Each structure stands twice: as structure tokens, then as C-alpha cells.
């Protein structure tokens, strides 16, 4: 076993103990000190992604002057060991020569955060009093401070503008004085010129001071722009993975702020900060550069294909996007109030997105939304209609050896397709092939527009959900491919 494998397996063991039966875990210290004595905070977030485990580690100086973000993606191998699939620091891939040392440091901080020290860089936290941190704690106070600082700089900008206007009026008065001096005697002209020269020299000094003030204002603006963007990215890091769309939107707005040319632009971008995943999705949907197509994802279930395509084209996912991800919190469809996790993925044709209304709703282009296809060969289990899912279809698939080894106690694996445009016309017991068309994408039932509601169900004893075919769990069908 190589050193990399030993460290990866050791880190995976620590994270599995912290996660237990949960899908995510977060912890760290709210206060600590870096190796050079600066106060810092340290946050760890672990998340299950299918059979993989993700660890995100953030160490941030309290004065926001520096930050280190590490991202680890671990996957199990067939021999019971774990492998490191991805390693990033500050959103860039780690150099191969440093990966093992960085892994060893992270393991040391997990095993003994009280005494762990960095040998590579600052800031790194030495915990003063370990606590379990809430990733969302302090979100709105920090946002309030960011907006307050922006207001201060905007006021300073307008004060400097007023000073510049006064300087202009004074210059015009001097020009008038010069015109008057031309018409008087040479003696008086000489005296006037001498006086004017003195006043011009004084004005030069004032203009130099004004240039210094403008330079200071430009420096302050650049600092405010960078500080606001950095704060927004930190808030994105602190959001849980159930708020994935908000994470993406926060980072997108941070990019827009970094390219802003005025305080007005910064204030506008800050005003667009989404309160929930639905608002985040509409912000991202109207900018084609932000769309992550379905082809960038891969299935967590071996052998399953993408369940959508345009007629006459392959089902490669390039024309579609996930508009609502697995596990995101959404208002309860039962009308009882509160929020429930979305235990499926919603898939939409990106060409149907036209614009977004002031009420934050997607306006869809009245084009062809696409077709629903079977993700794998199998037998139609049921087909029907209800007020929530509209026209829907469930297909049962023959069990594969890699499925039975991956999902212990599995009795049946099915895929579920909802909100189809019309009665798909399939009957129970009919056979379907992989990529065979099942019907058209629609918006029947409780839907905000044409999209496919897609689920993968694992039937086994003691599942969280149940129907007339047995008890089952819903699993995340797709995770994004790490580049």
C-alpha cells in the first residue's frame, strides 16, 4: 500500500466516524490563532456523495486578509481501501508533490485539533476552544457590515465629487480675473499677473491634493470590491450542500462584484443575493455562461443513462440542466407549511429558458421541451396520474451484480418519471429498452413549468418510503464530475 493510499484510507475512516449514519457533518473552531499569532477561524464540512466522501476545510483570518480552502474527494476501491479522487487548494488543483503532506496535516487537525500545527503556510488554526460550528452562523451580521461599509464609501465618493465641483468654480473665477487684467495698464497688468501666478500655484497645490484624494478613493473602492467579493465567497463556503444552488449563485455574484466598475454596480449585485435555492436557480438560469449541463454529471448507479433527450439526437445530456438538485429544501407539496428535502432531480431543456420575471419566476420559451427516455432496460411497474406528479411512470430494472454488492439488501431498483405531458400509454408488464422513448416532458400535476422529475428508488426492507410494491429509499442519481 502506497503512502497516498494509507493516508486516504485513514482520512476516510475519520470522516466515516464523524458522519455516522448522517449525510453531512460540520465542525471546527470559531476562534484560534495562526502560526504568526493572528486570530483565525477554522471550519470543516464533510458530505456523502453516493459512495464518495467530500471534505471541505476553510481557515480564514478574522480580519479577512487571507484564507485557505482545501477540498478533498475520496472514493472507495474494490480492495477495501480508499483513493483520493480530487485535491484542491484555493479552487486550484494541488501540486502532486504537496498532496501527501497536506493530507497528513488535515488528518492531524481532525485527530488532535488542539495541538495540530502547519509546516507549510499561514493561516492555519491552533484551536483555543474546540466547538461545533454552525456554517450559517453570522451570515446576516457580516452581510450588514458589508452593506454598511459600502454606504460609507459611497458617501465619501459624493463628498469628493462636491469638492471637485468647488475647485472647478474657483478655476473659472481665476479665468475671469485674467480677462479683467488684460484691459488695465501694464503696471496693473504686471501686478495682476503676479497675483494670478500666486493663486495658480496655490491652485496647483490644491489640485495635487485632489489627485491624491481621488487615488485614495480608487484604492478604497478596490479594497471594498475585493473585500465584498471575498466575504460573499466565504458565505458560500459556509452554506450546507443542501443549498448547492445558492452556493453557485453566491460565487457567481462574487465574480460580478470583482469586475464591477462603480459602487452602484456593487450595490446592485448585493441586492441580488438569493434567499433560497429557487431564487438562486433563476439568477443562474438567464446567463448561459453559468449553466452546468447534465453532461457534466455522472450517474451514481452503474449503467444508468440520462433520462432525457431531444428527438433525433443522442441522450448525452448536453441540451439539458438540473434546475433543482437532490436534497435541496423546498416548500412542502402537501400544503401543510414548512420545507421538505427534494428527494429527486428536476431536469429542464436549457433552450426553454427565456428570461426571469421581477417575481423571480422562469419564463420559458414555448419550444419543444424534449422527450423522456428509459435510463435502463426493464419492465413497466406502474403508469398513471395524480395531482402532485401528473402523468408518471415507474420502471423496474433487472438487478445487476454491481448493484447488489453496492446496495446491501436490495430487492428491486426502479426509476420514476413524473410531470409528463400526457398519458404515456404504457401498461404494467411491458418491456422497455435503454434510451427508448417513454413520453414527452411536460408540466402536468404540481409543476411550475415543463420539466422532468426523476427519481432512483432502492427497494429493501425498512426503507424510508413505501407504496404498494414495498418500502424503498430514494438516492441521488447524479453527482457532478470533478475536472
- pLDDT for 367 equals 64
Section 261-280 average pLDDT: 79
**Range 292-480 has CATH code 2.70.70.10:** yes
Section 23-39 average pLDDT: 72
Residue 410 has pLDDT above 80, yes or no: yes
Q: Say what the pTM is.
A: 0.46
Section 33-43 average pLDDT: 74
Residue 195 has pLDDT above 60, yes or no: yes
Residue 132 has pLDDT above 60, yes or no: no
Residues 89-106: pLDDT tens digits?
A: 887 888 888 888 888 888
Residue 321 has pLDDT above 90, yes or no: no
Instruction: Name the more confident of 168 and 246.
Output: 246
Residue 382 has pLDDT above 90, yes or no: yes
Across 278-282, 283-287, 335-339, the highest mean pLDDT is recorded for 278-282
90 prior amide bond cis, ω within 30: no
Give the chain's radius of gyration (CA, Å).
Answer: 30
Section 431-437 average pLDDT: 96
- pLDDT for 447 equals 84
Residue 394 has pLDDT above 50, yes or no: yes
Residue 408 has pLDDT above 80, yes or no: yes
Amino acid at each position: 500500500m502506497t503512502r497516498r493510499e494509507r493516508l486516504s484510507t485513514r482520512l476516510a475512516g475519520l470522516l466515516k466516524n464523524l458522519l455516522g449514519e448522517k449525510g453531512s457533518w460540520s465542525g471546527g473552531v470559531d476562534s484560534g490563532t495562526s502560526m504568526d499569532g493572528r486570530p483565525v477561524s477554522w471550519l470543516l464540512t464533510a458530505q456523502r456523495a453516493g459512495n464518495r466522501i467530500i471534505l471541505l476545510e476553510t481557515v480564514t483570518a478574522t480580519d479577512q486578509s487571507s484564507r485557505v480552502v482545501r477540498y478533498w474527494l475520496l472514493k472507495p476501491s474494490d480492495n477495501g481501501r480508499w483513493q483520493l479522487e480530487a485535491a484542491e487548494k484555493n479552487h486550484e488543483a494541488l501540486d502532486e508533490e504537496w498532496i501527501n503532506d497536506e493530507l497528513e496535516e488535515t488528518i492531524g487537525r481532525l485527530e488532535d485539533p488542539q495541538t495540530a500545527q502547519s509546516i507549510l503556510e499561514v493561516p492555519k488554526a491552533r484551536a483555543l476552544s474546540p466547538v461545533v460550528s454552525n456554517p450559517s452562523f453570522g451570515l446576516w451580521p457580516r452581510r450588514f457590515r458589508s452593506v454598511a461599509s459600502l454606504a460609507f464609501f459611497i458617501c465619501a465618493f459624493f463628498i469628493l465629487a462636491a469638492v471637485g465641483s468647488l475647485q472647478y468654480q474657483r478655476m473659472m473665477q481665476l479665468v475671469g480675473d485674467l480677462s479683467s487684467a488684460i484691459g488695465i495698464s501694464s503696471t496693473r497688468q504686471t501686478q495682476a499677473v503676479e497675483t494670478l501666478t500666486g493663486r495658480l500655484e496655490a491652485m496647483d497645490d490644491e489640485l495635487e491634493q485632489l489627485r491624491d484624494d481621488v487615488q485614495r478613493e480608487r484604492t478604497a473602492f478596490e479594497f471594498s470590491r475585493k473585500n465584498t467579493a471575498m466575504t460573499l465567497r466565504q458565505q458560500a463556503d459556509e452554506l450546507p450542500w443542501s443549498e448547492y444552488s445558492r452556493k453557485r449563485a453566491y460565487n457567481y455574484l462574487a465574480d460580478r462584484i470583482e469586475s464591477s466598475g462603480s459602487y452602484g454596480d456593487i450595490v446592485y449585485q448585493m441586492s441580488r443575493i438569493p434567499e433560497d435555492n429557487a431564487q438562486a436557480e433563476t439568477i443562474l438560469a438567464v446567463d448561459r455562461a453559468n449553466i452546468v449541463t447534465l453532461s457534466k454529471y455522472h450517474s451514481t448507479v452503474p449503467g444508468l443513462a440520462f433520462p432525457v433527450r431531444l428527438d433525433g439526437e443522442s441522450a448525452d445530456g448536453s441540451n439539458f440542466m438540473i434546475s433543482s438538485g437532490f436534497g435541496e429544501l423546498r416548500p412542502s407539496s402537501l400544503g401543510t407549511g414548512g420545507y421538505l428535502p427534494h428527494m429527486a432531480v428536476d431536469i429542464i431543456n436549457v433552450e426553454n429558458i427565456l428570461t426571469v420575471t421581477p417575481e423571480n419566476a422562469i419564463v420559458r420559451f414555448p419550444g419543444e421541451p424534449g422527450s423522456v427516455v428509459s435510463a435502463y432496460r426493464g419492465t413497466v411497474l406502474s403508469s398513471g396520474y395524480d395531482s402532485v406528479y401528473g402523468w408518471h411512470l415507474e420502471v423496474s430494472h433487472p438487478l445487476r451484480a454491481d448493484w447488489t454488492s453496492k446496495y446491501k439488501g436490495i430487492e428491486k431498483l426502479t426509476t420514476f418519471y413524473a410531470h409528463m405531458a400526457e398519458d404515456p400509454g404504457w401498461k404494467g408488464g411491458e418491456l422497455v429498452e435503454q434510451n427508448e422513448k417513454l413520453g414527452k416532458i411536460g408540466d402536468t400535476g404540481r409543476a411550475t413549468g415543463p420539466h422532468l422529475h426523476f427519481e432512483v428508488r432502492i427497494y429493501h426492507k425498512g426503507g424510508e418510503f413505501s407504496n404498494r410494491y414495498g418500502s424503498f429509499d430514494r438516492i441521488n442519481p447524479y453527482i457532478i464530475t470533478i475536472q
